[in-house]
Amino acid sequence: MAQAGLSRRAFAAGASLLPLASGAMASALPRPAGTRPLVIAHRGASAERPEHTLAAYALAIAQGADFIEPDLVMTKDGVLVARHENEISGTTDVANWPEFAGRRTTRTIDGEAVTGWFTEDFTLEELRRLRARERLPDLRSANRAFDGQEPIPTFAEVVALAKAAPRPVGVYPETKHPSHFRQLGLPMEEALIRVLAEAGWAEARDRVFIQSFEVGSLERLRALTRLPLVQLLASAGGPADRPGMRYADMLTDAGLKSIRAYADAIGVEKALVVPRGVDGRLSAPTGLVARAHAAGLAVHAWTFRPENFFLPAGLKGPGGPADRGDLEGEIRAFLAAGIDGLFTDSVPPARAAVPVPPPATRA
């Protein structure tokens, strides 16, 4: 199919760029001495291609990502597919299909009313008719040139793409709204592990991290697998499946110790590691990384984006919000704070900040 040809071309372009550093993919947590932080391609190369497409993932691999990150939702017939949300009007052309007009509806997702089209109302065959489009067209207008080209990939296809890479590359899936899908009779955790098992990666601790904002999803996964699990944490709010729990409490020393009972790492909103001051510039690190490491947890920070709109003051470049600034400089500030990995929409600045050592030469 068309995606396979594109992927081969992307791999060919990047195959000789980046030899794997010794220990770079090690999943012992926190990160062992002598290994480098992980570069995780957030939704693929989403600053250069529409997110969660095989084209975006293939480009990220060619650019040197250690892991590609698919957000996972489910179809009506129980197939895991890669979309940021189960509501897909912002990332596909579903609104242009008259035969699907009647499926527009309003649902309560994680306590909030959401109107649109939802993956759980489509079979995989129906979803495959749709084509992806850029989610942030005002900031990433160049990506609109790729609108309408790529279908929604299955998780199995994403794993296969990583396995076919010319160097070791892992996958870093996130279960999105897992309690919502479980209530619909579409449990995600078992389906996820099944896909990995079918790919031969059920025990590939150096190729897989599994993440979720929901505690229950990770606890279910811990009963199913010894693969590394990552509890996602934000600056505000709390897990959708634990109404009385707040992320702020989970970030205390006691909270981190509780997370370690079922997870191996925390994936944190980057302001929790290095906040911004009232002037918009980066401030001093918070000390979270050291506390997490003391609890036995690695720290992966999200999300690093290249556009001025997202960058802190002092690192913005010339031009407007959609123009690019010094993302490498921002990443270096977080590396200095000790993070073990980072999620980025643009791999090249991250790869520049976390270089791969050249291969050893024989005497």
pLDDT range class, residue 38, cuts 50, 70, 90? very high
The stretch 117-135 carries a mean pLDDT of 98
Domain count within the chain: 1
Check residue 356 and give its pLDDT: 78
Q: Residue written as tokens 């123009």?
A: 323
Residue 45 has pLDDT above 50, yes or no: yes
Please report whether residue 120 resides in a domain. no
Residue 23 has pLDDT above 60, yes or no: no
| DSSP conformation class of 148 | T
Element counts in the chain: helices (H) and strands (E): 12, 13
Please report whether residue 106 resides in a domain. no
Count Cα atoms within 13 angstroms, Cβ side, for 280. 9
Please report whether residue 107 resides in a domain. no
The stretch 278-285 carries a mean pLDDT of 98
Check residue 89 and give its pLDDT: 97
Check residue 2 and give its pLDDT: 36
Please report whether residue 7 resides in a domain. yes
For residue range 319-350, list pLDDT tens digits in order: 999 999 999 999 999 999 999 999 999 999 99
Residue 18 has pLDDT above 60, yes or no: no
Check residue 30 and give its pLDDT: 62
CB burial of 84-117 (b: ≥16 within 10 Å; e: otherwise) equals: bbbbbbbbbebeeeeebeeeeeeeebeeeeeebb
**Domain CATH for 265:** 3.20.20.190
Please report whether residue 102 resides in a domain. no
pLDDT range class, residue 362, cuts 50, 70, 90? low
Q: Residue written as tokens 């993932």?
A: 57
Distance of alpha carbon 351 from alpha carbon 63, whole angstroms: 8
- Domain holding 41, by residue range, is 2-86+132-353
Q: What is the pTM of this model?
A: 0.91
10-14, 63-67, 125-129, 130-134: least confident range: 10-14
The stretch 68-83 carries a mean pLDDT of 98
Please report whether residue 100 resides in a domain. no
Distance of alpha carbon 334 from alpha carbon 20, whole angstroms: 22
The stretch 295-312 carries a mean pLDDT of 98
Check residue 355 and give its pLDDT: 84
Check residue 22 and give its pLDDT: 32
Check residue 7 and give its pLDDT: 40
Check residue 358 and give its pLDDT: 66
pLDDT range class, residue 361, cuts 50, 70, 90? low
Please report whether residue 115 resides in a domain. no
Please report whether residue 288 resides in a domain. yes
Reference 150, options 53, 286, 268; nearest CA is: 53
